Amino acid sequence: MKPNKGSLSTPSGALLIIGFFVLLFCFPFLIESKKVTFNSAKSDGAQTFPLTFPLDLKLRIYRDSSPQNRFKNKRVTLGEILKESPSPVLINFWATWCPPCLEELPSVELLNKQLKNKLNLGSSDMLRLITISVDDRMDDIAKLEATLDFKPSFLVLFDKEGELARSMGTTKFPETYLVSAQGKILYKWLGPQDWLSFDVLQQIKRQSK
């Protein structure tokens, strides 16, 4: 009896069966190879992102609260800022149009004051804080600050239209990175945080070692 056309007992059917098992066997390896094409670091989410920050992209200064006290609108690179101290840096991406960012701002300010107080006491290797605005215009930052019930003291860089943020895969704000002096990403937080909470401070301490 001749096998029916399309039957699995025909040569073409046998090839289909072999092809299916080959694909089934290789599928996990295909997934794994796709995973390793992305650099990733520890995060509070499943999102992957680069292992290091680009250090040569220039950003404008809105306010410099560091001892260097650079002028507004001066252009600097992250590499220039990071090399000023061997200690890790918190880099916080935010925007004036982002409600969760505004919710987080008072906590960011309190953390910055605490860090500056420790720095004034002689802790030269103390963690530093950089915030990076992704607003369209620097004037938007000034307008927002005029409405706040506190005067921000943290360093603010201006990443016009979010060029640096996009290069890091950051599209939702706020997002914060803990970065070594060499630009290596040590940890990442998604969304607003209470920066003086025990859990967050312990996480910073663990990842900074």
Segment 91-146, tens digit of pLDDT: 999 999 999 999 999 999 999 998 888 755 455 567 889 999 999 999 999 999 99
- pTM over the 0.85 mark: no
Residue 23: predicted pLDDT: 44
CATH of 58-207, one of 3.40.50.300, 3.30.559.10, 3.40.30.10, 3.20.20.70: 3.40.30.10
Residue 16: predicted pLDDT: 52
Residue 163: predicted pLDDT: 87
By DSSP bridging, strand 89-94 and strand 128-133 are parallel
- DSSP bridge pairs for 179: 89, 185
Whole-number percent of the chain with pLDDT over 90:
44
What is residue 48's DSSP assignment? -
The domains of the chain are located at 7-37, 58-207
**Interatomic CA distance for residues 79 and 205, integer angstroms:** 23
